[in-house]
Structures are given as structure tokens and as C-alpha cells.
Copies of this chain bind each other. A is one copy, B any other.
Amino acid sequence: MENFKDSELVLAPCKYEYLDHTADVQIHSWGNSLKEAFEQCGVAMYGYMTELPSVEIKQSAYIEAEGHDIESLLFHFLDELLFLFSCEPNLICSRLEIQEFITEGEELRLKCKCYGEEFVIGKHPQGTEVKAITYSAMQIVNEPEKNRFELFVIIDI
């Protein structure tokens, strides 16, 4: 250990602060159909908010989403799932089943049954708060001929 003068051991007063912490994470999901890739993407979002094995299937809810293209359909789908969690009934879901999935025509829409339970602090480990879904760098791979269905979505956390 070096020797220091007393004056060298005096710490400066704090003249700093931390601002504007921003972060995001990209979800990549896939499936044997675009529908499955959507379901996987929604579950992935919930999996970021808690540890999914802690979630029991005790109740369900339906959400509906619309969009003028697949990107906006995905955005609104995730946004509805986030809403289901953020507001009553504060549902966290480990299983999603899209029952209607219309991705052609003027107005795209889907209806999804969401299985899970009310989020309870203590029972469900708190993961990271999802603040918003974004369109940033969103990618939809929808190639039935290659059996490739993949989604890339960035969420703000």
C-alpha cells in the first residue's frame, strides 16, 4: 500500500448526476407459420418481464389487433399484450393462441386467446419493465415457399 498525505485522501463532493438511461432489446422469434412467429414473439415479450416457468395458467383473456400491414399488425398485437399486463387484469401470459389471423386484404386483423394469471410480486420474479413497442428496425420474414417465418422487433425497456 502506498503512503498518501491526508489531503490526498479527501474525496471531492459529488457534482454529477446520471441522466436519460435508455435501453432496448431486440426480440427475434420464428415458427412454422407467421401466426406461430407472432405467438412466439408475444410470449418472448412476457418472458422478458418475468420468468415464464413461474406463470400458471389460471385465467384467460382475448385481445384483438388490427393493422394496415403486417408491421402495424405486429405492433398493435404486442401493444395489446403489453396493455393486458399494464392495466387490469395485469395478466402475464405463458401461452398465446391466435384464433383468427387475417393477413391479407385491406384490413389485417387477429384475435388471440391469452392464457396466464395475474402478475403477483413475490410469486413472479420481476424482470425488466417493457416501456414500449417500437417500429425501429422491425423485420418480418414471411416466405412460405421456404417455410421461413421470422420476426424481429425492438422493444424499449
Across the interface, which residues of B come within 8 angstroms of A58, CB to CB?
1-2
**A113-157 vs B, Cβ < 8 Å mask (1 yes, 0 no):** 001000000000000000000000000000000000000101000
Interface pair A21/B20, CB less than 8 Å apart? no
A94 to chain B: closest CB distance in Å? 6
CA of A31 to CA of B12, assembled, Å: 10
Contact status A16-B2, CB under 8 Å: no
With A11-B95, A12-B95: A18-B43 Cβ-Cβ less than 8 Å: no
Identify the 8 closest CB pairs spanning chains A and B, nearest first: A23-B23, A16-B44, A16-B29, A19-B26, A20-B26, A15-B40, A21-B25, A1-B58
Residue numbers of A with Cβ under 8 A of B are: 1-2, 4, 8-12, 14-31, 36-37, 39-41, 43-44, 47-48, 52, 57-60, 94-97, 115, 152, 154
21 A/B residue pairs, CB under 8 Å, sorted by A: A1-B58, A2-B60, A4-B57, A8-B115, A9-B57, A9-B95, A10-B95, A11-B94, A12-B40, A12-B95, A14-B40, A15-B30, A16-B28, A16-B30, A17-B27, A18-B27, A18-B28, A19-B27, A20-B26, A21-B23, A22-B24
